[in-house]
Chains A and B, each alone.
Chain A
Amino acid sequence: MRQLFAIAAAAGFIAASAQAGPGPDEDQLEIDGLKIVTEVKAPDDHPLDVIYSGWRFRTDETQSLQMDDFENPAMVAVEYGIELWDTPAGTSNKSCADCHGDVEDMAGLKAITPKWDEAAGAPLTLEDLVNRSIKEHQGGEGWKWESAEMLAMTALIGMQSRGMPVNVQSDGPMADWVEKGKDLYYTRVGQLDMSCANCHEDNNGQYIRADHLSQGNTNGFPTYRFKWQGLGSLHRRFSGCMKNIRAQPFKRGSDEFTALEIYLATRGAGLGVESPSVRN
């Protein structure tokens, strides 16, 4: 039996070395003269050597769509976001612009969300922050997580941080959330019995059927996906991943997905914000 295993192991090794996937490519992301970091040397305690944006795993055709805002199909939503920003709404009949001024002042926010909120005693995602502002400042009802309005607004606000390094707080009260997200990342779920790590840590760069596995970094969300024929949230992507492995997804906006979002942001710290990115 031992002999058999040795032979098998040798065969496995040969197969493994012969099948090394193409990995990330060498392309560099630049949009209208703005260089965006898609590659960061990982800190020593990181499970990966180099952190890559998902952009580096996409085809040249997909990449090029994100390199030109006139080609980026997510820009339709950004336009809608600008309209929403300037439109009075709610019982206050105020627009976002009435209080916040130019949306450009939101620069930096996407890079640091989810962000600890003392009053809530919890971290708030960008979606949470938008809805809090609508409810508390505007006197409105808030938007559904995956609504066209929420996607448009998070794309617009996210875009103001384009190129800024992802820098979500991981210490203090956020430490427990990072830990919770990490637990989820390494927990096998679903009938197919896989964890996030099985694909995105152990096998990124390889193809799984037609999908080129990325490291699962979050710096491009909300993202325009060809598969969705539209813009979608990070939590929608989580949900799709879980269904693929035949697991019951957590709800969008749940503590579980927020914790996972926080953990992934800390794993991908230093990558440039690409919102709204283009993926397949």
Chain B
Amino acid sequence: MPRKICAAAIVTAIGLTGEAWAGTISPDSVEFEDGAIAASLTGVAGNAETGRKVFANRKQGNCLACHQNEDLRAEPFHGEVGPMMDGVADRWTEAELRGIVVNSKMTFDGTIMPSFYRTTNGARPLEKFEGKTILTAEQVEDVVAYLLTLKD
């Protein structure tokens, strides 16, 4: 990853929100380019092994609810609503995958896919989720790191 872009994004994020978490880009400060996000949200690479768990966990990513994924064949009940994840790293770049996980609507207009790192979602959110993102910045990066391991 080009370190310069990464640093610029963080500086922008801090500048816009006064975010105290140095190194983490807040949901409101994420910058897209053609649906993609170049810089790591945390400033560092994610952990693919943790990302694999987040992908399957029903209370976290629950990505398996919609996407079949041969790598997680041991887990029951793979959904069919979205495309298969096998070889996803061959089809998309890291920045594009990050953009799709953060807010897929920037890539696929009108998609059913939730935006995993956005605070303003559908109407009437349940109180305990109001203003909250589905995944943390760390979890997004972990999922991205995991997706990058899914090559044909």
Which residues of A does B touch, CB under 8 Å? 1, 4, 7-8, 11-12, 15-16, 18-21, 187-195, 198-199, 202-203, 206-210, 213, 242-243, 245-248
Which residues of B does A touch, CB under 8 Å? 34, 58, 62, 64-66, 68, 76-81, 83-84, 91-93, 96, 112, 114-115, 121-127, 129-130, 132, 134
The answer to whether B81 and A248 have CB atoms under 8 Å apart is no
The answer to whether A202 and B125 have CB atoms under 8 Å apart is no
Expressed in whole angstroms, the minimum distance between the Cβ of A235 and any Cβ of chain B is 16
The answer to whether A247 and B124 have CB atoms under 8 Å apart is yes
Roughly how many angstroms separate A190 CA and B78 CA in the complex, as a whole number? 23
Among B80, B96, B115, B121, the residue within 8 A (CB) of A19 is B80
A195, closest chain B residue (CB) = B122
Q: B121 — which chain A residues lie within 8 A by C-beta? A: 188, 190-193
Expressed in whole angstroms, the minimum distance between the Cβ of B16 and any Cβ of chain A is 23
A250, closest chain B residue (CB) = B124
Among A195, A209, A247, the residue within 8 A (CB) of B79 is A209
The answer to whether A207 and B129 have CB atoms under 8 Å apart is no
Roughly how many angstroms separate A213 CA and B92 CA in the complex, as a whole number? 28
Expressed in whole angstroms, the minimum distance between the Cβ of B81 and any Cβ of chain A is 5
Q: A209 — which chain B residues lie within 8 A by C-beta? A: 58, 62, 64-66, 77-79
Q: A246 — which chain B residues lie within 8 A by C-beta? A: 125-126, 129
The answer to whether A7 and B91 have CB atoms under 8 Å apart is yes
